[in-house]
């Protein structure tokens, strides 16, 4: 099997990976009309170290379990942050879990972004919608070690200005950490002074040394496909281009096969994979 991104930097669950650990919601913040961030602490006091890009299986008792990426700071494993969009039964129960609610967490699972492999060069983050949440830990990692990187760009596309996530972070990353934050929206009302258009158009504008760039992409699959093509056209090497893939996931440990993509189980071989692995899979329909 081809080497996958993140294989070297992943953290593993403590104990039995099928047994959820109790976590208590400490803070509950509404980010946009359909998205909330939960800050959780372990009820058993044991931290959950994780690598940027990994996910957990979050369980709302009585409603079910869903894979959700960790959106918090890898340097602060004492708290676990998740940013969740309310799309169905499980995510509805999770976003309505207020402070004091106990949730079950399994993980962390999957591969990480391995952003530190980009030290010495430029880093381009390309995010679409809630795809900014899985990238946030990697951006925080770069900001904490900013001098080790060249130019850092965050290209972010949201549906409307009201759907823009982490506004305070975006301002802080730009002001305090010299991150070139470029935001575009699909639909901007008259009050919106920023860009309107696809996030892939921001890739074409450049501002990075493609040959020496690590590019990390997360968003809806169609957006990732076109962003990857644009990054390739600019000269980013397929092995330096990483995407986080979403598929139906149940077990988290590569046993049940729900997330199989040809020979890969995305819960263990992914969700972060390099484009040299993904390109032949993404260009085939129905995989
Ligand atoms: C590795 C991984 C990481 C993820 N990280 C996050 C995260 O950080 N935050 C987050 O909010 N979600 C994330 N997801 C997606 C999340 O797991 C699903 O939205 C969730 O499982 C839906 O469960 P549900 O029971 O609420 O909705 P369901 O009843 O399963 O679905 C309700 C409706 O929403 C649609 N739907 C399901 N999933 C999605 C989706 N991803 N996007 C759009 N529509 C969808 C379904 O087709 C259906 O029409 C991640 C998924 C994976 C595989």
Residues in Cβ contact with 117 at an 8 Å cutoff, skipping those fewer than 6 apart: 214
pLDDT at 6: 46
pLDDT at 205: 85
Mean pLDDT of the chain: 93
Question: Does the beta carbon of 20 sit less than 6 angstroms from any atom of ligand 1?
Answer: no
Cβ proximity of 17 and 252 under 8 Å: yes
Q: Please tell me whether residue 273 adopts helix, strand or coil conformation.
A: strand
In the predicted structure, residue 80 carries a pLDDT above the cut 70 = yes
Question: Does the beta carbon of 95 sit less than 6 angstroms from any atom of ligand 1?
Answer: no
Provide the pLDDT confidence category of residue 189 given band limits of 50, 70 and 90. confident
pLDDT at 3: 45
Average pLDDT over residues 76-86: 97
Q: Is 206 left (phi over 0), alpha (psi -120 to 50) or beta?
A: left
CA separation for the pair 231, 54 (Å, rounded): 23
Average pLDDT over residues 29-45: 97
Convert the pLDDT of each residue in 25-36 to its tens digit: 999 999 999 999
Average pLDDT over residues 264-285: 88
Give the DSSP per-residue string, 272-283. Answer: EEEHHHHHHHHT
Cis amide linkage into residue 103, ω under 30° from 0:
no
Q: What are the backbone angles phi and psi of residue 128, rounded to the nearest 5°?
A: -125, 125
Instruction: Tell how far the Cα of 70 is from the centroid of ligand 1, in angstroms.
Output: 14
Residues of the chain above pLDDT 70, percent: 95
In the predicted structure, residue 127 carries a pLDDT above the cut 70 = yes
Question: Does the beta carbon of 85 sit less than 6 angstroms from any atom of ligand 1?
Answer: yes
In the predicted structure, residue 226 carries a pLDDT above the cut 80 = yes
Classified by CATH at the fold level, domain 21-109 comes out as Elongation Factor Tu (Ef-tu); domain 3 (2.40.30)
Going from N- to C-terminal start, the domains of the chain cover 21-109
In the predicted structure, residue 146 carries a pLDDT above the cut 60 = yes
Cα-to-chain-centroid distance, residue 101: 24
Q: Which of 5, 35, 68, 82 to mutate to test the pocket of ligand 1 (most atoms within 8 A of CB)?
A: 68
Q: What is the DSSP letter of 213?
A: E
CA separation for the pair 22, 224 (Å, rounded): 34
Provide the pLDDT confidence category of residue 280 given band limits of 50, 70 and 90. confident
Give the DSSP per-residue string, 3-54. Answer: --TTTTT----SS-TTSPEEEEEEEEEE-SSSEEEEEEEETTS------TT-
Question: Does the beta carbon of 83 sit less than 6 angstroms from any atom of ligand 1?
Answer: yes
Instruction: Tell how far the Cα of 182 is from the centroid of ligand 1, in angstroms.
Output: 26
CA separation for the pair 11, 54 (Å, rounded): 8
Provide the pLDDT confidence category of residue 4 given band limits of 50, 70 and 90. low
Alpha helices in 3-119 (DSSP H): 89-95
CA separation for the pair 275, 13 (Å, rounded): 27
Instruction: Tell how far the Cα of 87 is from the centroid of ligand 1, in angstroms.
Output: 7
């Amino acid at each position: 099997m081809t080497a996958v991104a993140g294989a070297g930097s992943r953290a593993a669950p403590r104990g039995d990976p099928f047994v959820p650990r109790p976590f208590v919601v400490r803070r509950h913040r509404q980010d946009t009309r359909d998205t909330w961030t939960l800050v959780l602490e372990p009820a058993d006091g044991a931290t959950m170290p994780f690598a940027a890009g990994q996910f957990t299986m979050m369980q709302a008792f009585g409603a079910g379990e869903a894979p959700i990426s960790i959106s918090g700071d890898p340097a602060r494993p004492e708290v676990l942050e998740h940013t969740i969009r309310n799309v169905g039964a499980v995510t509805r129960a999770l976003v309505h879990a207020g402070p004091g609610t106990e949730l079950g967490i399994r993980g962390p699972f999957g591969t990480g972004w391995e952003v530190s492999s980009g030290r010495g060069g430029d880093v381009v983050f390309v995010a679409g919608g809630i795809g900014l949440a899985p990238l946030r830990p990697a951006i925080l990692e770069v900001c904490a070690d900013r001098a080790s990187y060249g130019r850092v760009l965050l290209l972010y596309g949201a549906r409307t200005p009201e759907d823009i996530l982490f506004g305070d972070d975006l301002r802080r990353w730009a002001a305090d950490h010299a991150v070139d934050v470029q935001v575009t929206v699909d639909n901007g009302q008259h009050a919106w002074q920023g860009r309107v258009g696809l996030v892939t158009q921001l890739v074409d504008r450049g501002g990075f040394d493609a040959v020496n760039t690590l590019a990390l992409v997360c968003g809806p699959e169609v957006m990732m496909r076109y962003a990857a093509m644009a990054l390739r056209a600019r000269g980013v090497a397929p092995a330096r281009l990483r995407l986080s893939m979403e598929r139906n996931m149940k077990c988290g440990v590569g046993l049940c096969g729900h997330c199989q993509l040809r020979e890969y189980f995305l819960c263990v071989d992914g969700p972060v994979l390099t484009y040299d692995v993904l390109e032949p899979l993404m260009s085939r329909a129905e995989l």
